[in-house]
Amino acid sequence: MRNIKSIASSQVAWSKMKIKIIGINDPLIVKEIAVINQGFFDEWAFTDKDADLEFNLPSMNPSVKNNKYTILATYLKFLETKTGQTQPWGLLNGMRPTKLVHSMKKRGATDETIRNELKKQYLVTDKKLDLLLTVAKRQLSVIPDLYNLEKEVSIYIGIPFCPTKCAYCTFAAYALAPNQKWVAPFLESLIAEIKLIGHYLKTKKIKVTSIYLGGGTPTMLDVEALESIMAALYKHIATAAEVREITVEAGRPDTITKEKLHLLKACDINRLSINPQSFNQTTLNKIGRHHAVADIPLKFKLAKEVGIKNINMDLIVGLPDEELNDLTHSLTQIKALQPESLTVHMLALKRKSKISHERERYATTSKEVLQQMAKLTYEFADEEAYMPYYLYRQKNMAGNMENIGYAKATHESIYNILMMEEAQTILGLGVGASSKFLIGESVHNPKDLRTYIQNYEGYVRRKLALLVQSTEMEAKSFMYSPSSPINDGTKAEK
């Protein structure tokens, strides 16, 4: 076994670890331990042979060793002692930690009670507790009736076309050029789905809170196609005047034209997302975003000239070969443009992404540097008056940290809050779109274009049946307590 005395002073020594756990046979506990390992080591593996670290369950006090929480808390503290590191999120490894805060608030818990319980039960650090409580407070200021929107729904529209597919992406996204033949049948199927869902909503007088067009990149479609989707939404589901917010993803600046922007403005779109991910050309080329960095400010200014008042930009921290100076450059460009909101994602190595399949081609930075980069984004947001208003976490996320949505005052995304906190049912229409119901059920539309086109009606029937159940059961938001003290009961997206 490696010399324990050298561990705390040598982070490099912990890059590839072999870990032996003795006396733990419960696969769920082993799975939770695996998540904890992710927060400490860049690479690690369980072993039954010679190990760098050995955790022996039988040596624990017999009165507590059968308690799942106690085992995991003891293991976390074991790693913190051995490595000299602290895991800021403690044992709170669910995707939606703020949802837990709202669940407690809805039951009448004070901030002090919430802070004490999360610190004691889940070992969350003060900084992350501050972040959670700040985000929850902000969400309630943006949506004062957040706890009372169960009878309304929000709509997500999945449009699966992009110029190219990025190396980190696992969403339903197809390069348009080789898939052009699918556009017309996709539009026909999507509009038919909109009609079927809309007919039920209008018949039952179910109000729509917000609408979000994502994908893919909706603005990959031409003006006529976009106009047909917007016309169907407004006719069959709800108009801009009837909802609180409509967002359109225009993530790839190379898909944006003045004509499309004029259409979105005429449709009273509240919020547009133009996503650089990075302002470094080498990075964009490497991850498959084949547009010029210069396109980003150009299209941003064009959107402003057309009259789009609320623009979001996304950055991804930890992209291949990017270091602190690369992120500093990107933040400098964001500062010059001053978008109304900024979403900071930590790179997640998703199992089906090109980056995960071809790791030898995509060098990623160390956890220590990633933590410095995350700190830089926190400081930047504070200096530029971007306030955190939603956050979520994913498996295999760089540095085991979190994604944070920031916004200037009054420019927060209502849909993002409702969706992330699962405050109401979200109905997903289109390719790869997920519907999530307050009764705890989900329906995932096919990611495959042909399968969606051939089978969308069956998925509509399943969604409407679950919507009926949700209505009959009078499902309430924030009422589903975590099934364990470690997870919030939700799964990471894709």
SS (H, E, C) 391-452: EECCCCEHHHCCEEEEECCCCCCHHHHHHHCCCCEEEEEECCCEEECCCCCEEECCCCHHHH
Angle 485-425-146 (CA atoms, 0-180°, nearest 5)?
75
Residues 56 and 167 in one domain: no
- Listed residues 38, 64, 83: the one ending a domain: 83
Instruction: Tell me how far CA of residue 210 lies from CA of 41, 214, 259, 469, in angstroms.
Output: 40, 13, 24, 22
Question: CATH number, domain at 400?
Answer: 3.20.20
Q: What is the rounded CA–CA span in Å between residue 36 and residue 25?
A: 17
Which amino acid makes up residue 422? E
63 with 156, same domain: the answer is no
Residue 54 phi/psi, 5-degree rounding, is -135, 125
Residue 438: inside a domain, yes or no?
yes
Residues 34 and 153 in one domain: no
Q: Indicate the residue type of 343.
A: T
pLDDT at 331 over 80: yes
CB 255 within 8 A of CB 289: no
271 vs 236, 259, 307, 308, CA distance in Å?
Answer: 21, 17, 11, 7
Whether 460 is covered by a domain: the verdict is yes
Residues of the chain with pLDDT > 90, as a percent, come to 69
Give the rounded percent of residues in the chain with a pLDDT score beyond 70: 87
Position 252 in a domain = yes
Q: Which residue range is the domain that position 294 belongs to?
A: 146-473
Indicate the DSSP class of residue 280: -
Both 48 and 168 in one domain: the answer is: no
Which residue, 471, 475, 466, is CA-closest to 438? 475
pTM: 0.90
How high is the pLDDT of residue 491? 40
Query: pLDDT digit string (tens) for 370-401?
Result: 889 999 999 999 999 999 999 998 776 666 78
Residue 114 inside a domain? The answer is no
Local structure of 78: helix, strand or coil: helix
Top-confidence residue, 418 or 471: 418
Are 325 and 421 in the same domain? yes
Is 401 found in the same domain as 264?
A: yes
Among the three residues 83, 115, 132, which one is the final residue of a domain in this structure? 83
On whether residue 101 sits in a domain, the answer given is no
- Are 177 and 270 contained in the same domain? yes
User: pLDDT at residue 6 above 50?
Assistant: no
pLDDT at position 10: 38
Q: Is residue 360 part of a domain?
A: yes
**Is there a single domain that holds both residue 212 and residue 298?**
yes
Verify that 79 and 214 share a domain, yes or no.
Answer: no
Say if residue 58 is in the same domain as residue 157.
no
Residues in the chain: 494
Q: Are strands 16-22 and 53-56 parallel, antiparallel or unpaired?
A: parallel
CA atoms of 180 and 196, how far apart (whole Å): 25
Paired with 155 in beta bridges are: 211, 427
Whether 49 is in a domain gets the answer yes
Residue 47: inside a domain: yes
Cα-based distances in Å from 92 to 66, 98, 134, 263, 378: 20, 11, 17, 44, 20
Domain boundary residue, one of 43, 60, 83: 83
- Quote the number of domains for the chain: 2
Asked if 26 and 152 sit in the same domain, the reply is no
Is residue 41 domain-shared with residue 164, that is, in the same domain? no
